[in-house]
Structure 1
Amino acid sequence: MDRVISAWPDLAEAIGLAGSRIMSAVVDTWGWRALIKLRPSQSVADVIARVPAIESGLGTRPGAVRIEHDPAHAGRCTMRVLAIDPHAGAIPWPGPTSRSLADPIDLGVFEDATNVRVPLLRRHALIGGTTDSGKSGVLNVVLGNLAACSDVVLWGIDLKGGMELRPWAPCLARLATTSEEATQLLTDAVAVLDARAQASSHSNTRVWEPTPAAPALVVIIDEYAELADTAPDAMPYAESVARRGRAVAVDLLAATQRPTQKAMGGGALRSQMSVRVCLRVRERRDVDLILDRGMLAAGWHAHTLDAPGKFYIPINPAAPAHTS
């Protein structure tokens, strides 16, 4: 670490970050990390833009350097350097880690070796990624956990003839594979939502607490863009669930390869998705469509992910959370 700290001023000057300095550096599980203090007028965006040059100067493999904002100070950032790729190989699924929707589910392992624990109760979720990015694998892990919960009922929409969700049919109370069936299913989901909202009003309760007798309803939509294209009549009902469903435990889980503005309701529906999982995308702009505006510029470079199953998930939006 002393060698890295002493060499930084020359490297920083060579790549256009002259005056920045490493304040501290420590070894961690798969590499090391350093706290960098920037010169006045320099920004973390300047550091992010120079990541390829930093990797070259440090002699690392491509993709080894991560830059994380310091939420307390705009003039500081953390540089994480991975000596090895912790996600180079597939991680075997250990089986369900949740028996209730109130329990977070395990999706993988972060680069700092901590587990990715994702709460889904009263939260809508969006999983996005291009072909062969591993989207189906992530969806299957989520479904495997939800199917093991005793306080959840699962409904599915798969307008590719059930190609993705039909293997899960024994775990689904309903499966829609046509535009007409999808519209009816979402209409019925809104009816469930309205009935629960009325019941909660009469009992003076603000949120619906799922139980085996009164379970949460999770509607899984595989290839959400296909729903927008082929079943436009269903979209108002999907948007209604997104806006009003969380308090009464009627939640959406949407997966898509094409996160277009049209599919996501011009941002209105996407804004309700509090869980975002972004696998590899084909175009840089898709990062912001899946994760939120400004995430690409903040260093969430999902277009550079180099293997199926690797993804970004916002836990702390200031620090790109890269996992597999």
Structure 2
Amino acid sequence: MAEVHLTKEKISAGIGMLGVGACGFGVLWAHQSAGNPGAIAVVGLGGVAAVRYVTKEKEQKQVKQVKQDAGKAAEENRWERYLAFFDPSVHYAVRMLADPKRAPGFWDEYHLTTWADTPGGEPDYPRVTVGATDGGVISTLVGARVRLSVPAGASTEAFANRLDGIAHGLRADVTIVKAGRGFIELDLRTMDPLAKLVMARKSTGLVDLERIPAGLTEEGSEWCVPLLYRNLIIAGVPGAGKSGVLWALLCSLGPQVRAGRVVLWGIDLKFGLELKPAEPMLYRLATTEDLAMKLLKDFKKAMEARGEKMAEDGRRKYVPSDDEPVHVLVIDELINLLRQTNSKASSEAFEILFDIMRRGRSLGFSVIACTQDMDKSILSSLRNVIQIRIGLRMVENSQLLMMYGPGAKDRGADNLRIPEGPAGAGIAYVEEEGSSRLQRCRAGWIPDDEVAALAEEYAIAA
């Protein structure tokens, strides 16, 4: 005999049918047994009770469903209010990590959830941890930053080894920004502020020479270049945006130049095509090899004169002032200066430039060197006297080595993947001396028709 499984629903349905049948039977009996009203009442009331039982149960189910729907709606409404603090692009990731109903299952995919052995026990997984001044999830210009607990038995390495999968699961670029005992902070990036052209910000006052505005960083914050006490190189293949980076710096330096607190010297052996528009801002400009050598020697003499003066005064550190301005030598194109037609002049130029870059920065004499032709012997020889390296789009791994030295890719150099043309113009990977990781930035752009006007506006006093 086949087994019959009775459920609550089946029983209710049976009672309902029985009730309807009883009512119908009561009506029929009433018709045939007009002389026995008591029996009719008993059968009729039984049928009505059965129908009422089923009706009441349906009402209870409906009320329960309405409450469940209301609860879900209220919960979704709470999440909508919470997520309103974040950009829509990061809503999915934030909800996945912060929702206790979703997070355990998400982390279980990456073997970072430990399920309790006892029924009803709480699972151990990376939970959002509330900080002293925040709720554990902070909105950023590029997405969000999340502070999480590290479950027992897990480690920072466990997160690092699964980072690609976690990023895929959260639909965001994910990096570990901080880790400590029992916690880890993840940066969720769903937006790229460098994807669109960045306009240069015009300086209205004297800028800090250790924080010269140049554009934006990949975090969406202002990219500032420290020039004082440093030498700088800008390098990339033709069309990568070298001139854009240079003009972003010159634009920010403009008020200092006009005030006489920064003195610009220029060497441009490509017929002056790059620096000629900036001539009103330049103390001197050399566009031929002979004039370049003379300017280079005079720049060195000025540097040595300051050093001698400081030694006489007993000063160990240079501090910019109206009487002793910062001097900056801008070279475009570097390789042209160091590969002149006269090999003896090339060797002399290298020796002088190397001496300036080695001794001058502490005296307020800095160099901004620009190049599209990355020569291994030259760049490798100068790398140790260059503190700021701004690398634009490149096409060979050997160029990364020349620019940044060994291990460039491990430190974040991804110059070979910068897009060609306008989409990647001005995007660079920047390395500062002493930093362990390169920073992706984009220089502010100045339209060509505004360059001449800016040079006139910031022209040095006659």
Task: Mark the CA change 1:248 to 1:288 in structure 2 (over 3 Å): closer, same or farther.
Answer: same
1:285, distance to aligned residue in structure 2 (A): 3.4
1:154 aligns with 2:261: no
Sort the Cα spacing of 1:39 and 1:259 in 2 relative to 1 into closer, same or farther, 3 A: farther
Paired with 2:111 and 2:276, the residues of 1 have a C-alpha distance of: 54
Report if aligned partners of 2:229, 2:363 keep a CA contact under 8 Å in 1.
Answer: yes
What residue in structure 1 maps to residue 96 of structure 2?
3
Give the SS at the match of 2:311. helix
Q: 1:282 to 1:205 in 2, by over 3 A?
A: same
> Equivalents in 1 of 2:213, 2:361: separation in Å?
21
**Within 5 A, what are the aligned runs for 1:87-126?**
87-96=194-203, 99=206, 102=209, 104-126=211-233
**Separation in 1 of the partners of 2:362 and 2:350?**
20
Calculate the aligned-residue CA RMSD, in Å: 3.2
Alpha-carbon distance in structure 1 between the residues aligned to 2:159 and 2:171? 24
| Alpha-carbon separation, structure 1, partners of 2:175 and 2:246 | 28
Judge conservation of contact 1:101–1:120 (CA < 8 Å) in 2. Answer: no
- State the alpha-carbon separation in 2 of the partners of residues 33 and 143 from structure 1: 34
User: Contact 2:146/2:186 (CA < 8 Å) preserved in 1?
Assistant: yes
Q: 1:214 to 1:193 in 2, by over 3 A?
A: same
In structure 2, what is the Cα distance between the partners aligned to 1:208 and 1:189? 17
CA shift digits 1:205-249 (9 cap, x unpaired): 112323233222100011212222223431111000011001211
State the partner residue of 1:234: 349
- Aligned mate of 2:435, from 314, 317, 320: 317
The match for 1:166 is: 276
TM-score by structure 1 length?
A: 0.80
Question: How far 1:117 moved relative to its partner?
Answer: 2.1
Gaps of 5+ in 2: 1-93, 98-102, 113-124, 129-135, 341-345, 443-462
Q: Report whether the alignment pairs 1:28 with 2:140.
A: yes
Deviation at 1:156, TM superposition (A): 0.6
In the TM superposition, 1:132-147 aligns within 5 A as 132-147=239-254
What is the distance in 1 between the residues matched to 2:418 and 2:230? 26
- Contact 2:199-2:215 at 8 Å conserved across structures: no
Q: Does the 8 Å contact 1:285/1:296 carry over to 2?
A: no
Q: Which of 236, 244, 254 does residue 129 from structure 1 map onto?
A: 236
Larger Rg: 2
Q: Distance in 2 between matches of 1:80 and 1:226?
A: 43
Alignment partner of 1:260 is 2:375? yes
Match of 1:293 among 406, 412, 431: 406
Say whether 1:280 aligns with 2:393. Answer: yes
**8 A Cα contact 1:129 1:279, kept in partner:** yes
Task: Give a deviation string over 1:127-181, Cα, whole Å, max 9, x none.
Answer: 1222222111010011122232131111011111111111001111111112222
Q: 1:107 Cα deviation (Å)?
A: 1.1
- 2:388 alignment partner AA: V
- The number of equivalent residue pairs is 306
* CA apart distance, 1:68: 5.5
Overall identity of the aligned pairs, in %: 27
Distance 1:263 1:77 in 2: 43
Distance 1:296 1:95 in 2: 33
Q: Which secondary structure does the structure 2 equivalent of 1:217 belong to?
A: strand
Asked if the contact 2:167–2:174 (Cα under 8 Å) also holds between the matched residues in 1, the reply is no
- CA distance in structure 1 between the aligned counterparts of 2:111 and 2:271, rounded to whole angstroms: 55
Deviation at 1:35, TM superposition (A): 6.8
Q: Show CA shifts across 1:183-213 (max 9, x none).
A: 2211111111111111111110112323233
Answer whether contact 1:193 1:245 (CA < 8 A) is retained. yes
- Alpha-carbon separation, structure 2, partners of 1:201 and 1:175: 30
* Local SS of the residue matching 1:262: helix
Q: In 1, distance between residues paired with 2:216 and 2:208?
A: 20
Q: How much has 1:2 moved relative to structure 2?
A: 5.2
Secondary structure of the corresponding residue to residue 253 of structure 1 = strand
**Contact 1:208-1:249 at 8 Å conserved across structures:** yes
Higher relative CO (CA 8 A, sep ≥ 6), structure 1 or 2? 1
Which stretch shifts more, 214-223 or 33-42?
33-42
